[in-house]
Structure 1
Amino acid sequence: MADTDVVVIGAGVIGLAIARRMAQSGLDVMVLEANSAIGMETSSRNSEVIHAGLYYAGLPLKSSLCIAGRKMLYDYCIQRDVPHRRIGKLIVAFSDRELQALEDIHRQACTAGVDDLEMLDRSRARDMEPELACASALYSPSTGIIDSHAYMLALLTDAEAAGAQLVKRTHVSALARSDTGDWRVFIEGEYDAVVSARFVVNAAGHGACELASRIEDLTPHLVPTRHFARGSYFLYHGRVPFSHLIYPVPVPGGLGTHLTLDMGGQARFGPDVEWIDSLDYSVDPNRADRFRAAAARFWPGFRADLLQPDYCGIRPKLGGAGAPASDFQIQGPDDHRLAGLVNLYGIESPGLTASLAIAEVVAARLGIAN
């Protein structure tokens, strides 16, 4: 007999959303987290934006799960009193070439089901944001911001209320099938152990590909190659005149250096895109000039002396520099022919927005009903 019904590996926002979904279905759930606290990596090192689903043409999982997840997340935040604001954002264009890119985003997002976007000329954009410099803008009223840590705590509280158990400082070294068909989960950390489970969900984020390579009988070619794209943020130590998020037209590897506002009213610029070979969360202060140039482009009143290094996040990419944007990969038994196992790869932005919808997909891949 298995020790537990479900082992979820990783207690970031995705793992916690999955654990909540499984526990509320009446299953016994154990969440294994290598760090000393929940959400210490990608889940807490991002822009804390609730995305509307504008950018994911040709990426069906990112597109559909972002749009579905956005509604689920707003509803959840209201139900659980998670701090959030439907603040809206402006994507700005400075030239005819960028205007064409903006129109492409608008058309593709409408096709995907985002039905509340509005194209603005310079005058109307400045009516909304008087200090904004641009030629035109695309307005997304459904974009928002969220306290990501409060959200993760709410997910954990729900999961634990339904009987889930969180075990921190535990590193999963390998997975193998037992003679009974259950999964044996080999754990290293504060104590060494082997836990058996009917279902295993690999939501290990940056470590998902490496862990998958140590799953017995998993076909190696199904495990993608991981790539790391670091994005730094710089904090603005002063008042900003904007009430919306301000984004440029996207750049290869990311959404461009944008202005975000957090729930405390602090303004940050970022993230940029820097391809790296290993996990390194240091912020290079010498990158500040690029941020200052990006900020001054849409905000003529920007003061360069008020910008200081803050933090960085690292996107778990499935394609390297110069490669086309990649979709989420959620591989279940229909993909790898191993019953009771789901591997999640490349869950970068809009993973936070899509987290509740991703949890539903994982449950469906494992045949777990509500």
Structure 2
Amino acid sequence: MHIVIAPDKFAGTLSALEAARAVADGWRSVDPSARIDLVPLSDGGPGFVEVLHTALGGTLREASVTGPLGEPVTARYLLVGDTAYVESAQACGLHLVPAGRRDPARTTSAGVGELLALAVADGAGTVVVGLGGSSTNDAGAGLLAALGATPAADLARGGGALADIDKVDVAPAREAVAGVRLVAATDVDNPLLGLHGASAVFGPQKGADPALVQRLDLALTAFADRADSEGAARSEPGAGAAGGLGFALLLLGGAVESGIGLVLDAVGLAGRLASADLVVTGEGSFDSQSLRGKLPHGVARLAGEHAVPCVVTAGRVAVGRAEAAAAGITETYSLVESAGSVAAAMEHPARELRDLAASVARRWSR
């Protein structure tokens, strides 16, 4: 039996590669003869660079950049030919901010801009920025500041400070990336502002209460009025991705592309599914958002094109059987249900995922 194991990360517990290996170990314990193809994936968020490096090779460059709280962090980008891949979460990810210090009014995306500048200096003609998992809500103002936009000091102080800036000059940042093709890799289609914007939808995940959400949306509106006088970029699908980093890249002339599509193409998943009997995908929480274009949905869609059954192993499953089937998912399996509790699943995630995969293998192996 030929099994393709193609999960996303299990946020907070397992990387995509760790999850793939755990599923493979569990499957082999039941069916040692199975032909198993490991294909760890990412939608542009955490793990983006690792997944692409595994698939494409290339050279990893490491640098110390400004972290979300202004303290230095170590981040890497990947250079493949003249294309660089930057993972925004490595410079401003939520995982870099301790729970007690999470404040999206203060966190900055400056480090992402520094990585972008390093990639350009390294000769990249195309820079693909994976968006997701950020702690920021600054509309990419920090990124723009790192590339030369002014007033740099104020732009790098976080989203809460943007309401007090009278004038913004983005021209130096545009000049810094002139001639470079910029791609915002994301499957988030939110605009920058409003009820479906960065502050309202993603702010609470980063520590914003309702009052702060409203204040941040007003601050980002003021910033957009000054930085985007024509008002086009703020309404583009994906402008609200990663706390508005999509907006900044659009201001610089970039384009939004599907992070899932980019990664699936890079790893050649379509070709790897052509001879498969089953694909196993997964993520930390398989819920209603998963059916709106997150990674398992993309895998299931591609599996359907090749008439390959697709099952999901997830930390938590909050989708009914009928909804999952409508998205092309044959069956779903919950790690929490298998382990008996959230605490048990979180304490030994790799072991519990191995055990769950073994259970799935007993059902599917032939």
What is the TM-score with the length of structure 1 in the denominator? 0.25
Q: More strand per residue: 1 or 2?
A: 1
Q: More helix per residue: 1 or 2?
A: 2
What is the TM-score with the length of structure 2 in the denominator? 0.25
